[in-house]
């Protein structure tokens, strides 16, 4: 530390943070293995599992070049999801007109909470993909994402629903179904809450609120348009690639 203080004499706050971090590490309680307490490989496995839960395992998905106005909606949806609770399975619907930002919001929420789950899957463009490739295609993607190498090939919708229930009912899953437009899509991929393990969360984005009601989704969030300040911020980023704009352009940017 003395050497670092010499090297970073113009930025001693950085060295102080390192000192505080080392002090915290020195005070952490360690794991103590006693030979009579069980097998060593089980003990080590528990340590690995514990650490794995604390570090980021899921790569973040790209949200938006300029994520303006997301903070409040993300907080509200996370509140609806109640991620901290492992009691039961919650389905949350995000609805609104096309292009309002439903997918962007779902992506931001997914990135924020993904590490709280054993397995995750973001099924994008459900409407388009089910129309082009069928419901079985969606079921296969879901099982492949969740089970990895254990994924199986499904050839029929009924077989798919049966396999999803059987293989995922004990897993704590985060599943996002993006841009759903038909009830059959929900019935094929997330028919009931008990298809998934306790603590699982299902997020559905759609333009049709009635679809959520039909599927029994009680927790919903309607995406609203940006307010005037947020709209101006987004326009600034799009036009000038910065949030700092020369005042002489303000009369042009603000339209009454």
Exposed / middle / buried, residue 233 (Cβ in 10 Å: 0-12, 13-18, 19+) = middle
Confidence (pLDDT) at 203: 97
Q: Measure the CA dihedral 226/228/230/235, to 10°.
A: 100
Break the chain into its structural domains and give their ranges.
2-53, 66-222, 226-256
pLDDT digit string, tens, across residues 7-61: 888 888 888 888 888 888 888 777 777 766 678 878 888 787 777 655 555 677 8
How many whole angstroms separate alpha carbon 170 and alpha carbon 172?
A: 7
- Let me know if domain 66-222 sits in CATH 3.40.50.300: yes
Look at residue 255 and tell me whether its pLDDT is greater than 60.
no
pLDDT digit string, tens, across residues 133-161: 999 999 999 999 888 765 578 889 999 99
* CB-based contacts of 89, cutoff 8 Å, min separation 6: 193, 194, 196, 197, 198, 199, 200, 201, 202
How many whole angstroms separate alpha carbon 28 and alpha carbon 21?
A: 11
Does this model's pTM top 0.85? My answer is no
* CB-based contacts of 165, cutoff 8 Å, min separation 6: 191, 194, 195
Place of tokens 């409040």: 72
């Amino acid at each position: 530390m003395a050497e670092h203080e010499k090297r970073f004499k113009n930025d001693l706050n950085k060295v102080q943070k390192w000192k505080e971090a080392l002090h915290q590490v020195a005070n952490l309680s360690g794991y103590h293995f006693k030979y009579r307490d069980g097998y060593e490989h089980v003990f080590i496995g528990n340590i690995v599992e514990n650490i794995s839960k604390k570090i980021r395992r899921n790569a973040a998905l790209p949200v938006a070049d300029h994520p303006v106005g997301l903070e409040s909606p993300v907080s509200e949806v996370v509140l609806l999801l109640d991620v901290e609770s492992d009691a039961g399975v919650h389905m949350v619907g995000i609805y609104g007109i096309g292009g309002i930002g439903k997918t962007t919001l779902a992506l931001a929420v997914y990135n924020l909470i993904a590490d709280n789950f054993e397995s995750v899957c973001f099924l994008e463009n459900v409407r388009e993909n089910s129309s082009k490739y069928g419901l079985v295609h969606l079921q296969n993607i879901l099982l492949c994402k969740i089970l990895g190498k254990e994924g199986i090939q499904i050839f029929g919708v009924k077989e798919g629903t049966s396999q999803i229930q059987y293989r995922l009912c004990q897993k704590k899953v985060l599943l996002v179904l993006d841009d759903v437009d038909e009830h059959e899509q929900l019935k094929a991929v997330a028919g009931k809450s008990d298809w998934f393990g306790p603590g699982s969360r299902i997020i559905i984005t759609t333009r049709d609120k009635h679809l959520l009601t039909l599927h029994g989704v009680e927790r919903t969030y309607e995406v609203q348009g940006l307010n005037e300040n947020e709209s101006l911020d987004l326009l600034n980023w799009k036009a000038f690639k910065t949030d700092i704009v020369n005042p002489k352009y303000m009369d042009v940017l603000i339209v009454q």
